[in-house]
A and B are shown apart, each in its own frame.
Chain A
Amino acid sequence: RKEVEQDPGPFNVPEGATVAFNCTYSNSASQSFFWYRQDCRKEPKLLMSVYSSGNEDGRFTAQLNRASQYISLLIRDSKLSDSATYLCVVNQAGTALIFGKGTTLSVSS
């Protein structure tokens, strides 16, 4: 079983749609959790950290369920500029970030 699993997509949605990405992780000792965004042929950029209480940043909401080892990202009112690959990331021991393969989102007008 992969350490971090994501639905690879692609997700093709119209502008204004709400889209949800899910991710599961296998190591219950994981300590911190993130969503990164990666544009084509660019480096990953931190989108948001994910906290147990859930957190929101504008149109983006992240949730963590430690009992189920499940992380989610909700994007409301999708924009064309949201088109990218979204990487679910888990940190276990303060060193390595463990990445999922990424979920590709394409927002069309």
Chain B
Amino acid sequence: ETGVTQSPTHLIKTRGQQVTLRCSSQSGHNTVSWYQQALGQGPQFIFQYYREEENGRGNFPPRFSGLQFPNYSSELNVNALELDDSALYLCASSLLADSYNEQFFGPGTRLTVL
């Protein structure tokens, strides 16, 4: 196991609601990245946090936001949920000082928007 944990495991929301997903990184890792994986697709990068600051962002609208805490755990918040937000949300932890940037994934949160 990678030591990366995510909660909740599954979540069902309705369109327009807001959701918060949580991630605890592997011990010793200071960087958390979030990805969205729609059915039949590869994961798509949402954003990355390094030492509590956003360190890169993919092509996602501002209603996707995040936080990283001093213990390097992280949250992903999605406002005004849309049906297309239904996906597996993955967080990955890494040590940014490692330029090869191997990232280790948590088990994911499966979000269903009705």
Contacts and interface: CB of A to CB of B under 8 A. Distances in A.
Interface residues of B, number: 28
Given A43-B107, A44-B43, A96 B102 contact: no
B56 interface: yes
B99 to A, nearest CB: 6
Given A43-B90, A43-B108, A93-B56, A98 B102 contact: no
B55 A95 contact: yes
Contacts of B55: 95
B107 A46 contact: no
Contacts of B107: 42-43
A99 B43 contact: yes
B106 A32 contact: no
A94 to B, nearest CB: 5
B16 interface: no
